[in-house]
Every structure is written in structure tokens, then in C-alpha cells.
Amino acid sequence: MSNAGLHHSSEEHQTHNSHWPIVLAVGAGSIPTGIVLHVWGNKIGLGILIFGAVVTLGGLAGWAQALLKERLSELDLVEKDKWLRNGMKLFLVSEAAIFGALFAHHYYAKTHFPVWPPEGAPHLDTRLPAIATFLLLSSSFTVQSAHSLFLKGKRVWCSRMVLLTIILGGIFLWMQGNEWGYLKAYDQFTLKSGTFGTSFFMMTGFHGLHVSVGLILLSIVFVRLRLGHFQQHRHFAFVAASWYWHFVDIVWIFLFGTMYLV
């Protein structure tokens, strides 16, 4: 085959045709649009914001899958692991941007009220959330310990620590749900309870969704550990789940400070 033919084949192989960037752009563009409309009091603002977040997550997942399928077929084992880790980092950065938009909306709304929380909003007790925060932060240490034990070849203790992480995360979700039920039953405080109610339930609920996803990922890791799927030189799924869990914990620190302390 001629050099021109080789060059042409290489270009055809490297071409990446995908609709996912367009989907991602639509989702990412909808998020700030929804925030602005919601701040202006437009009823469809919240819906557009949620739509944007869902489409953005779906676009990221779809695009990542397409890129992985295309790229990994060309890489050796070491390059695959490096490429996957970089992809996970970019995904977490995009997730942080979504949470950043929610925090920006919250603090923007806060500056436009003479008193915060606004009059009529319930007093948020910090005792139960503080305990939940301690449990969630403890789960970061347990998942990190699990990974360290895995690298040392102590797989039985590793799986136990992963299970403990799942239990702690589950208790955190239960405590959050319990608080939501209490606020609704005794204070009639819901998503529709003004700007503060919308902000509180959207941000804590979106975080709770991420905790649920993290628990699913950790459960998969636990099962795969028991089945002996992971090797010391190849366990990206374990690494990705632990990074995601650390991200969820870090976001909650800011949420706890924003909603309950500031």
C-alpha cells in the first residue's frame, strides 16, 4: 500500500463522528439558562435547570462511552489505565461545575434577601446532619483503607472495608431522608417553600442522588472483589468508584457548611 493510502486509512481510523458533543452542549447551556430564569421568578426555570443537569450527565456518559470504545482498542494496558484515569478526572471536574452552578445560584439568591434564611423558613437543626456528616467523612477513610489493603494483597479485609463504606453511606442516606420527612411533616417545608426551600431540596437532593450512584458503584466493586475480578495492575473500576466517593464527600462538606452553618 502506498504512503498516501496509509495516511488516508489512518485519518479515517482517527475520525470521531459523534452527536454526543451537541447533546452535551445543549445540556450545559440549559443549566445557566435555568438558573437565570429561576432567579427571575419564571416557573419553567427549575424545569430547565433539571433538564440541563440530566442531559449533561447523559451526554457525558454517552460521549465517554463512545470515546472509550474507540480509544481503548488502540492502547496497551498501561496507556489504557492512564487514559481512563484522566477521563475520570475530567468527569469529576464537570460534576464539580454543575454543583458550582447550584452553589452560585444559592449565594446569589442569599444576597438579595435582608434576612437569611428568609422569614417563614424553619430553623434547620444541625445535630442530625452533623452526625451524618461524620459518618460520610468516615466512609472516605474506609474506602481509602480498602484500596490500600487491596494493594497489599489483603483482599478479605479490603472487601470488608468496602462493605463498611456501603453501610455508612446507606445510613447517611437514611438520615437525610429522615430529615426531609421531618421537615415536611412538622414544618411543611418542601421544594415549593420559597427560594430557600427550592435551593435546600435541590442541592441536598442532587447530592443524595450522587450518593446513591456512589453506593451502586461500590456495591459493584464489592461483588467483583468477591469474585476475584481485580488485579493489582488492573483495577480501574475500584479506583474510579473510590474517587467518585471522595468527590461526593467533599461536596457534602461545602453543602453542610452552606445549608446549616452559614
In a domain, 115, yes or no: no
Q: Which of 114-123, 174-183, 198-207 has the lowest mean pLDDT?
A: 114-123
Closest to 246 measured CA to CA, from 201, 210, 203: 210
Could you give the percent of the chain with pLDDT greater than 90?
Answer: 33
Instruction: Identify the band that residue 207 occupies on the pLDDT scale cut at 50, 70 and 90.
Output: very high
Structural domain includes residue 156: yes
Which has the higher per-residue pLDDT, 44 or 131?
131
CB 203 within 8 A of CB 106: yes
Say yes or no to pLDDT of 169 above 90: yes
Q: Is the pLDDT of residue 251 over 50?
A: yes
pLDDT of residue 256: 95
pLDDT exceeds 90 at position 165: yes
Residue 24 pLDDT: 67
Half-sphere exposure of residue 118, counting CA atoms within 13 Å on the CB side?
A: 15
Specify if 18 maps to a domain.
yes
- In this structure, are 171 and 67 located in the same domain? no
CATH of the domain at 165: 1.20.120.80
**Are 134 and 84 members of one domain?**
no
Claim to verify: residue 99 and residue 151 sit in the same structural domain: no
Give yes or no: residues 103 and 31 share one domain.
yes
Q: Are residues 82 and 142 in the same domain?
A: no
Pair 55, 161 in one domain: no
φ, ψ of residue 101 in degrees (nearest 5): -65, -40
> Does residue 259 contact residue 203 with C-beta atoms inside 8 Å?
yes
- Judged against a pLDDT cut of 50, whether residue 13 lies above it is answered with no
pTM over 0.75: no
Res 40: pLDDT: 67
> Would residue 117 count as lying in a domain?
no
Confidence of residue 98 (pLDDT cuts 50, 70, 90): confident
- pLDDT of amino acid 186: 81
In the structure, what pLDDT confidence band is assigned to residue 211 with cuts at 50, 70 and 90?
A: very high
Final residue of a domain: which of 85, 110, 135? Answer: 110
Mean pLDDT of the region 139-161: 95
Asked whether residue 119 is assigned to any structural domain, the reply reads: no
**149 or 118: which carries more pLDDT confidence?**
149
Q: What is the pLDDT of residue 14?
A: 44
Domain membership of residue 94 (yes or no) is yes
Instruction: Flag whether 73 is in a domain.
Output: yes
Confidence at residue 12, expressed as pLDDT on a 0 to 100 scale:
40
Residue 44's pLDDT band (cuts 50, 70, 90): confident
For the chain, what is the domain count? 2
CB 110 within 8 A of CB 150: no
Using pLDDT thresholds of 50, 70 and 90, give the confidence band for residue 7.
Answer: very low
191 and 243 assigned to the same domain:
yes
Mean pLDDT score of the chain, rounded to an integer? 81
For residues 134 and 249, membership in a common domain is answered with yes
Out of 53, 75, 110, a domain closes at 110
105 and 133 co-located in one domain: no
d(CA 28, CA 94): 10
pLDDT of residue 112: 82
- Position 51 pLDDT exceeds 70: yes
- Whether residue 63 is found in the same domain as residue 106: yes
Of the pLDDT bands very low, low, confident and very high (cuts 50, 70, 90), residue 47 is: confident
User: Which of 84, 110, 136 finishes a domain?
Assistant: 110
- On whether both 250 and 158 belong to a single domain, the answer is yes
Quote the domain boundaries for residue 201: 127-261
In the block, cell 434564611 appears at 117
